Amino acid sequence: MNIKEECLEILKEKGVNPISAIDFDVNGELHSLSFEWIIDTYTQASPESRLVFLSALKKAVAVDNMGIEKFFEGMGKLLLMTHLSKKLEV
For the stretch 64-78, pLDDT in tens is 767 899 999 999 999
Per-domain boundaries in the chain? 3-85
pTM of the model: 0.86
Three state DSSP letters for the chain: CCHHHHHHHHHHHCCCCCCCEEEEEECCEEEEEEHHHHHHHHCCCCHHHHHHHHHHHHHHHHHCHHHHHHHHHHHHHHHHHHHHHHHCCC
pLDDT at 85: 65
Burial-class residue 76 by CB neighbours within 10 Å (0-12, 13-18, 19+).
buried
How far from 3 is each of 27, 44, 90, CA to CA, in Å? 33, 10, 37
